[in-house]
Every structure is written in structure tokens, then in C-alpha cells.
A and B are shown apart, each in its own frame.
Chain A
Amino acid sequence: MDVLRNNNWLLTVGTFLPVLGVIVMVFIPKGKELLIKQVALLTATATLVIGAVTLALFKYGSAGKLQFVVDTSWIPVIHSNYTIGLDGVSLPLYILSMVVTVLVMIYSWDHIPAPGNPKAFLSLMLILQVGMAGTFIAQDLILFFVFFELVLLPMYFMIGVWGGEQRQYASLKFFLYTMFGSALMLVAFLALFWQVQKTNPDASFSIPYLIDHAGDLSRSTQIWIFAGMFIGFAVKVPMFPFHTWLPDAHTQAPTQGSVILAAILLKLGTYGFIRIAIPILPKAAVAWAPYIGALAVIGIIYGALGCLAQTDMKRLIAFSSVAHMGFVMLGIATLTPLGVNAAVFGMVAHGLITGMLFFVAGSVKDRYHTLEIKRLGGMLKQMPKLGWILGFCAMASLGLPGLAGFWGEFPAIVSAYSPFGGNSGLPGVSKEVFRVFMVIAAVGTVLAAGYLLWLFQRVAFGEPKDEFADHASDGHGAVHAVGAAVNETEIHGAGHGDIHDVKLTEWIAWSPFLIAIVVLGVYPNLLFKVIDPASQTILKAFGKG
């Protein structure tokens, strides 16, 4: 295994540091909310600092290799080791999870959802962070599974306790559905191990080991094992038709939950495909590719149509995730570096953009106490900045070049023209089928423009509806007269009226998202440069020759 082991304390510390914060918070009385918030934010920030150090020490010249690798015995009785490492594909997602956690913490500073209790809420968020980061560094299937499951519980409580009116139903559904998927995934992991062990007595659950040794399994065995993994990951993505938990979970989750769900949790599934299912089981990947591609493009169109039917802004954004993750899965299904790069870029971009859209939805809900599209209107007039941010995110989400969303969609569409064409070891994937997918996916971009701009038109343009027209804050007359964004003075707190423009904590929490969307859109190579070597390594089996 060709890996780099320098500074290998980094990943462990970066992943488990939040636990320390949780332990500290356990001893702080519930009433000291400020202290609790401070400790939580400090912990998340410290984690992010470790992340920044990781970013600095990462050897970009060898982004294709696993770095900071630790490989020690963990549960010898089942041949599972504590194997962790980071390469160009996991690095962006690992860092993204840390950034998102910090920003969500900042947002939570004055946005703790009902019924309050920041101590529990923030503790759960820190535990969630451990699970997310851990999933991206795990290089052992059992370890991966543990982290993958660890994510479920905090999110379940976040939705179930701090969620909307139907939180119990939504949280239960979320939990059970993903649990069902991961159960099958675990089965697949076990079956894989046993199959490999038949010919290799020293077999382990290590992913690099399995990549080297599982490729010899017969095609039909691979297909069955892949099926188990497929269910597990596809539920998490979520792919059509396993997506129905998502709109409920998103709609009912508190804003923070929705943001994390969209930004990171959905990526666990697609990441699983790239990290585990495809490199370990290349024969099955080729066999499954047309079906994954088909479900992906169905998801693109279906998700978009679902969006058009929504009457609730948050549910619409939730449905749009189904469509966007369709593009990611289409890229993955091509089994080409071009497609997988697009997919990883798409994951990050979707995380930023949709995360941001959920933030906006949360803030709209805060102000209007409703997300019903029919009742909203004229947001640009009452809250010009929030309105323009919504417009910006909508444009980014529909894949406007120059913003991050485009770099996930466009290369994925292009790559579908020419999927993996076969080599000496593997047959190719049907080109004709994927060319049809390509056109369907391109149609999906039009529908995306349709539902997003329609939403924007209904929510932001026009005049505010009567029921909210009088709720505006004091400064609004001036806003109207001189210009939409002239409202330079920040209005702090909610004391000036229900409906006020973007607040300071929101600015702090959102600016990194907004800046990242522009920066990655203008200079996508920041990410592609890191992803590309890693995806080439991952797709070694699909290389030429």
C-alpha cells in the first residue's frame, strides 16, 4: 500500500476533538446557555483549525495517495483495524464537514430552535461532526460502518426533538429508512469479507486491501454484494425511488439540521459509491452502471417535477436535492475520471448551495413564520439583501457558469456522452444508453431553471402580501425610496419588527458559503486539482489497458 504516514495524529485529533467538547459540556449546567454556546463554538473552531492544519500539510502533489495514514489493530477478532487516511476525494468533504459545523454553530448563536436546550442541541451537533468526519477518513469497512451509523442518531434526535409539527413521523422515517439501508450494506460488507477470506486467509476489512483483492471475485458474486451496498448508499444519497424520507426529514428538521443534512449527510452515500462500492467491485460497477445512470436521470427529472408541485419553499428545496444528487450519481455511473470528478465537485457545490438555500429558508421562516409560497411575495422589497441572497443561491443552484453549481452539472453531462469504454479486464458500458441519459440530464437543467426561478419570482418579486405588508421594520420606507439594497444599516435583533433584513450572525455564518460558491465557480481548479489524481487512483481498474 503506497501511502504517506507523516503527521498522522492529525486525522484522529481532528475527528475526535468534538468529543472533548461534549465531555466538557456535560459538566456545564443547562442554564448557562452562553457558556455552553461558547464551549461548543470553541470546540468546533478548534476542530476547524486542525482541519486547516490538515489542509496546509496535505501533499497536493500526491493527492492520489492516502495521506496521514494510521493503521493499527482495533478489533482483531473480526479482522477490523483502525485504518484511516485521506486523499483528494475525501479531503474536500472532510474539510467541508468541519466548516459547515462551525458555521451552523455561529448561526445557532441566536437561532436555537424551539424547545430550546442548547446544551443538548449543540452536543448532538458535535457528535454529528465526529460521525461525518470519521466517515470520510475511515479506510476500514467496519470503521466506516460505525461512523456511518454514528451520524444517524444525533440527526434523529435533532429532527425528533427540535423539528416541525410532524417531527416524530419524519425522524422515525429517516432513522428507519437509512437503518434499513445500512443493514443491507453491513450484510454486503460481511459477505465481501467472507468471500475474500476464502482465498486470502489474512483478509481484513481494510478498503485498500479489498481493492487489491476483491477484484478477482466472480462477476455474479460482485453483483450481489454490490446490490447490498447499493441499497445502503442509494437510500442515503437519496436516489429515486429511495428518496421519500428526504422531503419529510428536510421539511421537519430545524434549519441547522437541514443544512447539515443537505451539506454533508447526503454526501455520505455518494462518497460510499466512490470510495467503496466502485473500486472494490469493478465488475459489478460496470454491470450496475446503466441502472444507476437510469435511476440518476429519473431522479433528475422526477425531482424537478416534484419541485414544481411543491407549495412549501423548504420542501421544494428538499426535492431539488433529489435532482441535484441525480447529476452526481450520473457522473459516478460513467465510471470515468471526468464523471467522478464532476460528482465530487457536485457534492461540494450542492453542499454549499443547497445548504445556503436551507439557511435562507430558515430565515424566511423566522420572519414570516410560514414557508408557504403562496403567502410570500415581495421579499426583495421588505428584505432586499435576503432576497438577493436567495436569487444568488437560486442562480447557483440552477447551474449558472461562474458559480459552483455549474462544475458539478456540466462535466457530468459531458462525461455521460462517453462512459467507461472497456479495457482488457472489463467490458465497457453501453454508450448509446448513456447518450440518452445525457440528453435527459440536460433537459433537467431547464426544469431546474424553471422551478428555481419560479420560486424566486413568486417569493421575491412583486409586492409583499397584505398580511405581511405592515410588519416591516422602521427602515423600510427609505429602502423603498432610494434603492433595493440601500439598506446599509444593520438592524440588530428582532425588536424593530418581525420582518428585518439579514442579521449579523447570519452574515457571519453565510458569507463563507457565498464566497466559496463564487470562488469555486470562478476558479474550479482549486477543487479539481485535488480531486483529479485521487479519482484517477480510485478508478485504476477502469483505466486504459
Chain B
Amino acid sequence: MSEDPVTATESSHVTTNELSSAANPAENSKILQKPLRRTRVGTKLEDIYPHIPISLDDIDSAFALQEYLQYLIRTDKENLDLLVQVPEGQDADAWQYEHLRQLCLELGYLVVQLMSECTRETCREMKTTEFQYLCATHPKSSCSAMDYIVHTLDQSISSLNDPRLFPSRMSIPATSLKNYQEISRRLYRIFAHAYFHHREIFEAFEIETFLYARFLKLSTQYKLVSKDLIIIAQP
């Protein structure tokens, strides 16, 4: 754990751990092994995610990157640089993949918020500024904005979960990388629709989650969405 601190915050945790290990090595080893990250049945909401510092090296699981990303988001979702930057020694494509999964997950919660306001009556068509978008799942007929949003999200999730495109979460086949752009471009429209038509919801959600900021950072850093498509005003 101590040889290879992954990030700045990580290294600070390491030093505190080292201090405690100097004081009582036996106890420290127990601490390193013991705290389980599992969520036990009956836990209260405030205790669900214990504030135990985790280093990526400690996570012995096939889903280490996902766990680590979720941990970073839980601890400091405003630290976008840290969030988006690929952890040392990790595959950049796999890291983006985890980001996209997480994005779809959290976008689901934005959709929940939008559902109260964005209905077939209020938004008959999927629009951001001027263009009307047609849903990729049924390109011939137009559908309401909410249909578009939900279908796009569902389709993105199903392609991210498609074992033919992404057989492993450790290494991503080069042929599947183009899906990143496609997924990102479509997901961007969801943000854009929320921004231009349901500004209040968008902003309230953004303050809480920093999801759009993270997405923007991710897509500019890894060129997932081309610059001219970015239409939401930069804060």
C-alpha cells in the first residue's frame, strides 16, 4: 500500500496509516484487512458508506476500478481532475468505461427528477436548441423528449453491458472504443435538453452531483464529444 500512492489524497491517507502502523503494527494490519466495504442489511443511511480510505491496490476484486471510482465520487465529487485522471498504472480505456457506466447510473437519477416536469405534454419532441432528435431505437417515428431520454439511456446501458462489445472490464477491445463517442454524444443531449428546457431541475441536480461538470471534463479530456457539439454555456 505504501510503495505506490496513487494520488495526492491517497498519499495523505497512506501517511496517516503509516503513523498508526508505527505505533501498533499488529493493529494496523488488522485495520488493513478488516474493514469490509460491504453494505450490511439493517445499516442506517448515514453509515452505509463508511469513511474508510481505500487505495486502489487494496481492492482485491474484478471490479476494482468501479469500486474505486465510486469511492472517489463519494469522498470528493468536486475534485474533477482527480476523478477524471486515470489512476496510475491503469488502463485509460477501462477507466473511461467505468466512468460511462457510472454516468449512466447517475443520469438515471436525473431522469427521475425530470419525470416530474418533462412529460409528453410539455415536451412533445426531443429538442435542445433548435434540432429535433430522433431516437436511435426507432428512427422512423418521432417520440417525446422523455421517451428519447429513457430509450437513449436504456440503449447506452445495454450496449455498455453487451459482452460482445465489452467482454471484459479490464481491457477494452479497440474496436469497441468508437462506442464511447456515440454513447457520449447521445447522453450529452440529455444534459442539453435538461439545461435548455428544465433549467431548475438541471441546476439543482448539478449542485448536488456535479455530474455534468464531470461528464464535460471526461469528454473533453478524452475527446468523447467534439467541441462544436458542446452547447451548454460554461459556468
Chains A and B belong together in one complex: no
Chain A interfacial positions (CB closer than 8 Å to B): none
